[in-house]
Homo-oligomer: A and B are copies of this chain.
Amino acid sequence: MGKIIRINMNSATVTSEDVPQEYVLLGGRGLTSTIVAREVPATCHPLSAQNKLVIAPGLLTGTSAPCSGRLSIGCKSPLTNTIKESNVGGTAGAKLARLGITALTIEGTAKDGETYILNVTKDRAELVPNGAFTRIGNYAFANHMRQKYGDKVSVISTGPAGEMKLSVATIAVTDMDGRPSRHAGRGGTGAVMGSKGLKGIVIDDAGTSPVQPVDREGFRAGQAKILKALAEHPVTSQAFPALGTAMLVNVINTAGAFPTRNFSVGQFEGAEKISGEAVNKNATSRPGGKMGHPCMPGCVIKCSNVYVDEHGEHITSGLEYETIWANGANCGIDDLDAIARIDRLCDDFGLDTMETGAAIAVAMAAGVKSFGDAQGAIQLIREIAEGTPLGRILGSGAEVTGKVYGIERVPTVKGQAMAAYDPRALKGNGVTYATSPMGADHTAANVFAPNLGGIPGLSAEGQAELSKSVQTIIAAHDYTGLCTFVTAVAAADIPTGLDGIVEMLSALLGANVTIDSYSELGKRILAVEREFNARAGFSAVHDRLPLWMTREPLPPHHTVFDVSESDLDSVRM
């Protein structure tokens, strides 16, 4: 029987309870969204004591299932004011699962100015005063913790941005090298952690064993199927290990859907210089650089990388597509090393690289800096960390930046910036941005792939249906802790892969999970999330892209977003 550990920051006390029977089929987003929807008043201020931060490994996390270490973090979002789940790789998820912790819920707020660290071991979970480690970056914090508690611990932390309660603040998780390079990036979860006065969580799973399925045989059979799918799929077996997620730069740029200079154009003249091929060249030609780097234990895809400078000094781990886009093309910047330094600064300060890049691009549109000014962008990020007024504006996200500078052309839905797929050229992604309960979140249903052959993505037809069905299955996948490239790539394209996931779940729980009942889980949690959002004041009217995207054609295809409102509304039904 798993445990829910409740950390009451008001009283600085920790309690533990058995997971209620009704939560047994819940994990990851399924559990975080359920707890938030039940326990958080929907109209509360996201930074108030009434909000809760819920941290839950997936159902398969801690098992031997490949790439299953994702950790879900949920709350009411200070960026969007909606319910929020953001998940993250790294090493913490598996350790929590091995410790038998189904969820941590961080509740209340510490007395003004007090901050704490939560220590979790096999024997106890306890809060200790944070002491000196305030307003320090994630890298220094993780180092201090590993020096103090040993280099096998996992560290979850919020950076200075979270301590400043900025809406773009992330929660960092250490990777397999002990670096805080994996982030629950979206929606300002770090600000919620900061508002509660919790600087970090140190997890030591010494003395524990992997999670064992009820039916080991059945589990191995399912596992074999998904491993086979991963080995067969050309993206997970070849493209990702070779080029990383940045392989998408050329793919999306060629499709004319690569948002450039604050979503003004769909192709970036500097795309080649920031492509997966360029990442590969730098990572493999420089001493200490590396492609094919896993972000978590049990990863067989290894889409990440270690990015170093010309002298072999570590800059960042995991220079990813969305980061390269947001701080590259979207800011008109084609200097890959500068983008890597931006990524490092964001990881250290605890900033969502996507929202930050989107905010900087809006500021560039307002004339704060020029498009293409890489050093200017770096300076802006330093301002965020310093908490200057300009830094706080940017650290509040693209929508607030647009509001403060009087800019209409802001690419957000429900307060969250869009990702690296312009919805006017990839309309299914536009439907996802518009209708996801999380705001403009590409991970909710990233449906560019079926739209790439020919130019179907330019047509509005069938996009709502496509996004809806993918949002549903992704919501189910988000219970599991499996990496999105397992679920949304391999299992999406190779049916036996999906069979494997369902078989692993059945075997894990000793239950009869079918593809239908699995899909039902997705429907159920989307309904829970939408119901929370309705209580928070969101309705179909908010399931819309900004009006300018329906009016301003995007070069080179010169299309607007023209999925009808009734099609968008069909996604909620």
Contacts and interface: CB of A to CB of B under 8 A. Distances in A.
Interface in A193-241: 194-195
Nearest to A109: B408
A406 B79 CA distance: 11
Contact of A48 (B404, B535, B547): B547
A411 B542 CA distance: 24
Interface-centre pick from A50, A164, A166, A389 (highest chain B CB count, 10 A): A389
A167 B403 contact: yes
A48 B400 contact: no
Interface in A162-193: 164-167, 191
Interface residues of A, number: 40
A537 B537 CA distance: 8
Interface string A294-335: 000000000000000000000000000000000000000000
Interface stretch (A28-36, A62-70, A277-285, A390-398): A390-398
Contact of A388 (B195, B389, B534): B389
Contact of A393 (B44, B165, B404): B404
A538 B536 CA distance: 11
B536 A408 contact: no
Contact of A408 (B47, B167, B403): B47
Nearest to A163: B406
A539 B166 CA distance: 28
A23 interface: no
Contact of A400 (B44, B165, B390, B400): B400
A121 interface: no
Interface string A517-550: 0000000000000000011111101101011100
- 5 pairs of A and B residues whose beta carbons are closest in the complex: A165-B406, A389-B390, A537-B541, A389-B389, A45-B408
5 contacts: A47-B406, A47-B408, A194-B406, A195-B406, A537-B537
Interface of A: 41, 43-45, 47-48, 50, 78, 164-167, 191, 194-195, 388-390, 392-393, 395-396, 400, 403-406, 408, 534-539, 541-542, 544, 546-548
